[in-house]
A and B are shown apart, each in its own frame.
Chain A
């Protein structure tokens, strides 16, 4: 039982591979509080980081502010945001993060297939991914492999974890 609890909590610190339709159906808590930090749950299991893969079908750049884009994997469209507002931050870590983000902007091209990792966040009541890492995929089978990975992990791992709320 203790092991199950650890497994459930372990998903909070890993990038959970999800298909778009699955990600877009995560439960948010609290439901209607725009100020409070939002937590996301899949079948009662808390999730904070995700990995998605698909075609970039929207691209809206606000220079020195942010890049909004969407990842379409055939099951849905996931909104993503890449922040670009830390160029002049006094924090070395934030400036370093900005340098990385500026490189990611070059990678995210309309129509490209991208693998995105990031944190779940909320925007206008819906879920979005705050991007921490992006790479483009050149393998024409990458989308298929990702799809199969997501299904296998859901069946053999994510769906088998006991929900913390269901345990006594």
Chain B
């Protein structure tokens, strides 16, 4: 779907990444995970302070701009310093396998 500015709106997205830089004026955080970079609009977030190097969790909508740049419009955000990112990634792999098995064996009745 598109709004008047031509911005594409995709599904909700969850991001768990380390903050690389933050612009107060633009309300824009840049987070990294390995070689992956994601821009996060934080204009809807209150009471959250940003520190470069800290790890944050954001939930929001993924917006694809007309120039194909992807920005996460965050609705919820929190600092998760202390999170075990290796365990997080391993749990994601397990979760995807579990969900795939669940869908392939829908004995739910």
Contact = CB atoms under 8 A, between A and B. Distances in A.
Interface of A: 19, 21-22, 25-27, 41-44, 55, 57, 72, 74-75, 110-113, 139-141, 144, 147-148, 151, 154-155, 163
Contact of A140 (B59, B76, B81, B99): B81
A55 B91 contact: no
Given A26-B108, A111-B76, A148 B84 contact: no
Nearest to B106: A25
B6 interface: no
Contacts of A55: 57, 59, 76, 78
A74 B96 CA distance: 11
The B interface is mostly helix, strand or loop, or mixed, namely mixed
B108 A151 contact: no
A155 B101 CA distance: 10
B78 A43 contact: no
B15 to A, nearest CB: 11
B98 A44 contact: no
B4 interface: no
Given A21-B99, A42-B108, A140-B83, 13 more contacts: A22-B102, A41-B109, A43-B107, A44-B107, A57-B59, A74-B14, A75-B99, A139-B82, A140-B80, A140-B82, A141-B83, A144-B88, A151-B98
A21 B100 CA distance: 12
